[in-house]
Structure 1
């Protein structure tokens, strides 16, 4: 079967032109069907980069087929392309025209097209590099003999725009009661600042990597969650698939869990010997560090001796309540505790859930049940929430794709918006007029709620007393 032409009315990103299948003749084409919320789609981005570097005869085209309503907006996809350093062209398939044409059923999925336009095959899931390399090694000589293969690289990688300002896609925020810790994710560092925004210290050199050592030398890779115990700061080093430990007294950073490569769900073991997968948030309860293991669709935990193991979730994606080992989770991305229970937001099921003996859902119904509805828990809807924090009987939620901050009262079992218009933007002022852009982290310091406003590259402050939102000014001079 010959690959159908790209629909003419689709928007192209990350390129200065629109491509046709005829333009791509003479080269292998790999269509990557993805959506930017999908953790597995994030995991294959490095694999696609390796394939592009290895084979100049191969052109990768991203086909962004959205799951959530928020992901259909072109400007939001542009932010995701920038955030994850994607250099190949991306075609926006928000109406899922190409998705249906190619019979795609899951994210990520791949279709390989030959230099003569014939569809060679398709596959889904992670591991595309190991799947495709032997196929390419066999097919390249064959098509070269036919004289239908162009060996030179067709397009140079797009030059990535740089974020101007101090922060770049900040993910999570945490507090030790005195200072604010900011996961400055795309700058590969954690900033420690006072409540007034004065710089206290910086964990990480800013260079992408995984080296341990003194703060100014050590490396992180898009860190997210932070948990603080005294002078010890645990960091979810998300794209390194590690848990790191920063000693504030000694100003050193070291790995305490994770091999550095995303693996498959297992039974756990000694920290540095166990494969983790996109740890996204952390919280301490008792003598355990709990880990939102987004890539495994599980909650893990680590004890003080460095043993790490699955705690909740079977590893199968879904929204099913029940005993810890049988429940199904869907990309848990935020954790908090009231001192007795663990609460978490399950981003792919747009749900608020609690671990109290077993797993129980408070808000949410299934993987495709989402929206922006306040009110009783039973009817309320969220859209891909990533952050939450417990305070005084309520859960404050960064409802990421609704661009709002919401407060869920656990006693009345109701939720309402306290800040955000529901549309992406950047505006301070009264809560109902303030605008956020995919906020994903939230914490408290005193009577102020600090919010990582990810796509605005800022930390915003919600004042509990006045209900006003302001933007934190960070002074990088010590």
Structure 2
């Protein structure tokens, strides 16, 4: 069988982190290329596998990220750099914005991992998750086969610089007690309770990433996001731990309601009436005593009854990533990352499809609120529902007949008028807005990439930064 020489790593958009490098710089080493894009949940899922391989083979394997964008916003070097900081990536990353390398390596899916031997020939390829299990045997075999030609030296990894202040990559929000707001301070692995003035009333979590129950100061989270307050308890989507946690302020204890740290996958008719493991739970919506979970990692909506078994069950979605409207158990979602409640519906920011979905709480019917142009249709258009375009929306909130949308990759907040069936831009100029919550006449939002909390007056539409201080 003819060997295939690995194409050279060239891009007019340059290197985002580390570099510039050529494959010749790594002759005598194994090279693992990771084709990824920053908004892809499966790409995020394999980062622990890549770190594990980097740590296991520090002198003989070089991991290089090839960022091949799906959305136009993801082509920008600045946004890729922010993602590198957010995800803690320290291997080199090249910007393949025009998909030249994607085509030269015949890649067809995110993520795809390609293994190159010490002589520069392709010896392995894997698409999807499970990279460690799939490629470690090939790495071990290649190390044995090429043992006489191996060059052992430290790989060119470098830690990205720290960013942020009192907040670091904040994401989701929830109303709290006595006019306060809970903020998921995701990059600091903690939750803050903040007054409208910006004063921090309390921090929950040690600030170190981990998975540990205990008191409010000692408990550990990993990249927490979705929040839902029901006195005296705050429910937390502990995204990086694939878990749902409870913060009980009456006892001062953090406990785990669902999740073991492992990702749960369930398809079609599997496990509808039994507890399931969350998979990158991204956001929460409280309806009475029920918590609905935007389970981004396997494209489903889960349900947890606080007055019942207090664990997660499947509620909507087959598990297949698609844009398909149907009764809730037959519908398909595409990385749902925002969820809220209004009237008789749940509203879902179906992020990878760049649409807003709506689920009727009684009938269970799932439909698409705004323009349904298919999973590849996105843009920045406002007006009638059937012509509106979004780009990777992540946050959503309701107030009466209005649905507020964090149009994340367009750096805007848009509002959908359910009566007039029209969408308009409320405010813009943000940097990946994410979580939204309405308090009285104000809309609060996290401006994630600027590490800020923003308040918009819904009468005057003026926005201001809420300075967070201890």
User: Fold conserved (TM > 0.5)?
Assistant: yes
The one of 381, 385, 393 aligned to 1:385: 393
Determine if contact 1:285/1:340 at 8 Å carries over to the other structure: no
Alignment gaps of 5+ in structure 2: none
Determine if contact 1:267/1:310 at 8 Å carries over to the other structure: yes
Determine if contact 2:216/2:253 at 8 Å carries over to the other structure: yes
> Are positions 1:47 and 2:46 aligned together?
no
Q: Secondary structure at the match of 1:52?
A: helix
Q: Which residue of 2 aligns with 1:432?
A: none
> Are positions 1:313 and 2:317 aligned together?
yes
The one of 292, 295, 298 aligned to 2:297: 295
Q: Which residue of 1 aligns with 2:23?
A: 21
Q: Which string of whole-angstrom CA distances, capped at 9 and with x for unpartnered residues, describes residues 345-400 of structure 1?
A: 10000001100121100113221100010001101000000001010111011110
Q: Which residue of 1 aligns with 2:425?
A: 417
Q: Secondary structure at the match of 1:324?
A: coil
The one of 441, 465, 469 aligned to 1:447: 441
Q: Secondary structure at the match of 1:225?
A: strand
Q: Which residue of 1 aligns with 2:75?
A: 72
Q: Secondary structure at the match of 2:12?
A: coil
The one of 262, 280, 283 aligned to 1:281: 283
> Are positions 1:112 and 2:115 aligned together?
yes
Q: Which residue of 2 aligns with 1:430?
A: none
Alpha-carbon distance in 1 for matches of 2:311, 2:52? 33
Q: Which string of whole-angstrom CA distances, capped at 9 and with x for unpartnered residues, describes residues 100-151 of structure 1?
A: 111111100011111111111211000000111222222211110xx21123
Q: Secondary structure at the match of 1:138?
A: helix
Q: Given the superposition, is the C-alpha separation of residues 163 and 269 from structure 1 closer, same or farther in structure 2, using an over 3 Å criterion?
A: farther
> Are positions 1:60 and 2:63 aligned together?
yes
Count of aligned positions:
456
Alignment gaps of 5+ in structure 1: 421-434
Determine if contact 2:278/2:312 at 8 Å carries over to the other structure: no
Q: Which residue of 2 aligns with 1:472?
A: 466
Alpha-carbon distance in 2 for matches of 1:165, 1:287? 35
Residue 70 (structure 1) shift: 0.5
Alpha-carbon distance in 2 for matches of 1:48, 1:275? 23
Residue 323 (structure 1) shift: 1.3
Q: Which residue of 1 aligns with 2:217?
A: 216
Determine if contact 1:268/1:308 at 8 Å carries over to the other structure: no
Q: Which string of whole-angstrom CA distances, capped at 9 and with x for unpartnered residues, describes residues 197-230 of structure 1?
A: 1221111110100111111100011111101101
Residue 250 (structure 1) shift: 2.1
Residue 50 (structure 1) shift: 0.4
Residue 269 (structure 1) shift: 6.9
Q: Given the superposition, is the C-alpha separation of residues 244 and 253 from structure 1 closer, same or farther in structure 2, using an over 3 Å criterion?
A: same
Alpha-carbon distance in 1 for matches of 2:173, 2:206? 19
> Are positions 1:247 and 2:241 aligned together?
no
Alpha-carbon distance in 2 for matches of 1:470, 1:3? 51
Q: Which residue of 2 aligns with 1:137?
A: 140
Q: Given the superposition, is the C-alpha separation of residues 59 and 408 from structure 1 closer, same or farther in structure 2, using an over 3 Å criterion?
A: same
Alpha-carbon distance in 2 for matches of 1:269, 1:295? 20
Q: Given the superposition, is the C-alpha separation of residues 211 and 270 from structure 1 closer, same or farther in structure 2, using an over 3 Å criterion?
A: farther
Residue 8 (structure 1) shift: 5.3
Q: Which residue of 2 aligns with 1:166?
A: 166
Alpha-carbon distance in 2 for matches of 1:117, 1:38? 28
Q: Secondary structure at the match of 2:386?
A: coil
Determine if contact 1:190/1:202 at 8 Å carries over to the other structure: yes
Alpha-carbon distance in 1 for matches of 2:349, 2:54? 35
Q: What's the TM-score, normalizing by structure 1?
A: 0.93
Deviates more, 1:232-241 or 1:444-453: 444-453
Residue 268 (structure 1) shift: 6.0
Residue 339 (structure 1) shift: 4.1
Alpha-carbon distance in 2 for matches of 1:308, 1:10? 44
Q: Which residue of 1 aligns with 2:96?
A: 93
Alpha-carbon distance in 1 for matches of 2:349, 2:291? 17
Give the alignment of 1:196-211 within 5 angstroms.
Answer: 196-211=197-212
